[in-house]
Structures are given as structure tokens and as C-alpha cells.
Amino acid sequence: MVGKEYPPHEYEVGREKIREYARAVGETNPIHTDPEAARAAGFSNVVAPPMFAVVYSAMAMAPAILDPELGINLALMVHGGQEFEWSKPVVAGDVITTQARVKDIYDKNGMKFYVFESESKNQEGDTVVKGTWTDIVRAG
């Protein structure tokens, strides 16, 4: 199972989604809500806050977590962690394609750890973020 890849997911980044997310997380920098402020800062449109990565990559992760071959017991699963490595900023109008794969599966202290990787690229093929997602299934 390690190395198994899942179908890529495409997400078109909308200006209003960025604005809604920025407001929801308390982001006050106007580059996230005002196109003119974003352009004055050198961007083509409003800029997604870094953790907006979860919005455009979540649908690519779903098939991995729900993969019957992995047999993850969702009733006993807890979120173990996320790590991201950001590259180029994401702006409204970008089309982000995220590919997920199984990085590692291991047992520790009677629990099973599922580690996934994702890579998200914009319409130009530039990587915008790489993610590591860890889910832990407690012993039942």
C-alpha cells in the first residue's frame, strides 16, 4: 500500500472563498480580502492564507482515508497531525491540482499510523504546497 497514489483533485480558487476563509480565521491583512491591496503588494488577485491549503487539498485526501484497501476504522481514527511546506502563493483564479499518496503505514504502542503525502500544483505546474497528513487508529 505504501506508495499508492489516488486520483488528483482539481480546485478552482475563488475570490469569495478566500475572503470567507480569511474572515473566518481572523486574518486582517488586506491582501486576503482586497484585490487592489493584493495588486499593490505585487499579486494578481487576493492571496489565500497559507492554511487555505486544507480547503483545496481535502478532496484529494478523502479517497485515501476512505480507501477500503487500507481498512481505516473511522470510528477509532483520530487526527495525528499535519505539516505543510509552502512554495508559491495561491491567488484567486488559480486552478490547483492536488495528488495524494500513501507515504507510510506503521504500528506503534498498539495503534496504527497512516501517513499520507499530498502535492498541490497550480495551473502552470508550479508546486504551491506539499503536505504530510497523519491519522492514528486507536486500538479497539
Q: Residue 140: its pLDDT value, please? A: 67
Q: Is 68 a member of any domain?
A: yes
Q: Taking all residues of the chain, what is their mean pLDDT, rounded to a whole number? A: 96
> What percent of the chain stands above pLDDT 90?
98
Tell me the residue range of the domain where 108 lies: 9-13+49-137
- Distance, in Å, from the CA atom of 136 to the CA atom of 75, rounded to the nearest integer, reads 11
Question: Residue 11 forms beta bridges with which residues?
Answer: 96
For 77-107, the pLDDT digits (tens) are 999 999 999 999 999 999 999 999 999 999 9
Q: Is 24 a member of any domain?
A: no
Q: Is residue 103 within 8 Å of 117, Cβ to Cβ?
A: yes
- In angstroms, the Cα distances linking 69 to 11, 46, 97, 112 are 26, 40, 24, 15
Q: Is 18 a member of any domain?
A: no
Q: Residue 111: its pLDDT value, please? A: 96
60: domain CATH number is 3.10.129.10
Q: What's the domain count of the chain?
A: 1
Q: Give the torsion sign (CA, 129, 79, 108, 104).
A: negative
pLDDT greater than 70 at residue 109: yes
